[in-house]
């Protein structure tokens, strides 16, 4: 299946595809790609925290919490809706808070050994979120977590040479340049005594390549990016499939 032009749709449409791709990747890993002592889950990933830090904090919280959309403030408080109208608003923070990753865990302690992340428009929408995304990727790699970054979005002013260039500069302090005509990045990082990057580039309309996801230094499984991408895309409403299809 060719890589589509996701710049033609808003963040909400891409978010729907993003969520589906995460599920398809986790399903593929759990359906025979992973050894028996590993498993994969699509997990919520909040900015600034890895999945081991995120617990089921929602359990025990009052379902009538005042931050629920449309909820009335508790009686006896001075809380009220503001009289001023907002000057501006953005939905990018909304989608950043609702991103998923695929986390691969080992059964001994259920520790995270590898993660797959699909880069979203919200990661690149502003300077601070982009810096935070790059720093979180670098922190995971330096902590010994193997990482795969999948970026089907064309570079912008914050990642002119692609997401790998920004991550690699943060890790190694080295400059990386995109190859001409291949702006999309699929990068796998092997985290051991040395950090090794395995980077493939593609263009809109190309077929996604398979890519290695490392579970241990020197040991990886091959991720069927094209198959999982196609399965996720099949669940995108036909109206939006036509919009991102470069053949239309």
In a domain, 33, yes or no: yes
Q: Which residues form the domain of 162?
A: 6-46+94-179+191-244
The dihedrals phi and psi of 19, each to the nearest 5 degrees, come to: -60, -45
Cβ atoms < 10 Å from Cβ of 49 = 11
Query: How many angstroms separate the CA atoms of 41 and 10, rounded?
Result: 26
- How far is the CA of 91 from the CAs of 96, 130, 147, 179, 203, in angstroms? 9, 15, 27, 32, 27
Q: Kindly report, residue by residue over 6-48, the tens digit of the pLDDT.
A: 999 988 899 899 999 999 999 999 999 999 999 999 886 654 4
The pTM for the full model equals 0.80
Question: CA 99 to CA 105: how far, in whole Å?
Answer: 19
Q: How many domains does the chain have?
A: 1
Largest CA distance in the chain: 63
With cut-offs at 50, 70 and 90, classify the pLDDT of residue 62: very low
Q: Between 40 and 86, where is the model more confident?
A: 40
- Residue 88: is its pLDDT beyond 80? no
Confidence of residue 77 (pLDDT cuts 50, 70, 90): low
What separation in angstroms does the CA of 60 have from each of 18, 45, 52, 56, 64? 29, 20, 19, 9, 11
Assess if residue 130 is contained within a domain: yes
The answer to the question of residue 58 being in a domain is: no
C-beta neighbour count of 63 within 10 angstroms: 7
> Which stretches of 146-224 are DSSP H helices?
162-172
Q: Is residue 80 part of a domain?
A: no
pLDDT over 90 for what percent of the chain?
61
Is residue 85 situated within a structural domain? no
With respect to residue 213, please indicate whether it lies within any of the assigned structural domains.
yes
Q: Determine the Cα–Cα distance for residues 8 and 4; give it in Å rounded to an integer.
A: 9
Residue 82: pLDDT band by 50, 70, 90 thresholds? low
Residue 175 inside a domain? The answer is yes
Residue 74 lies in a domain: no
Structure tokens, 53: 């830090």
The whole-number pLDDT of residue 60 equals 39
Here the CATH number for the domain that contains residue 195 is: 3.90.1570
Cα distance between residue 41 and residue 103, in whole Å: 5
């Amino acid at each position: 299946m060719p890589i589509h032009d996701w710049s033609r749709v808003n963040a909400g449409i891409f978010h729907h595809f993003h969520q589906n791709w995460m599920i398809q990747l986790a399903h593929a890993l759990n359906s025979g790609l992973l050894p028996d002592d590993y498993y994969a889950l699509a997990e919520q990933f909040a900015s600034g925290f890895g999945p081991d830090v995120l617990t089921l904090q929602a359990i025990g919280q009052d379902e009538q919490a005042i931050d629920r959309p449309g909820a009335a403030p508790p009686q006896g408080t001075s809380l009220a809706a503001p009289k001023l109208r907002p000057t501006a608003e953005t939905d990018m923070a909304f989608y950043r808070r609702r991103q998923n990753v695929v986390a691969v865990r080992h059964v001994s302690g259920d520790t995270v050994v590898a993660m797959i992340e699909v880069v979203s428009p919200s990661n690149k929408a502003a300077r601070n979120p982009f810096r935070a995304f790059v720093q979180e990727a670098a922190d995971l790699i330096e902590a010994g977590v193997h990482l795969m970054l999948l970026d089907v979005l064309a570079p912008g002013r914050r990642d002119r040479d692609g997401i790998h260039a920004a991550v690699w500069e943060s890790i190694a302090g080295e400059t990386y340049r995109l190859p001409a005509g291949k702006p999309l990045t699929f990068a796998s990082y092997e985290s051991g005594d040395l950090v090794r990057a395995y980077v493939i580039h593609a263009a809109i309309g190309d077929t996604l390549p398979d890519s290695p996801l490392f579970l241990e230094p020197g040991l990886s499984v091959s991720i069927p990016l094209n198959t999982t991408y196609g399965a996720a895309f099949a669940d995108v409403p036909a109206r939006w499939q036509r919009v991102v299809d470069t053949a239309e």
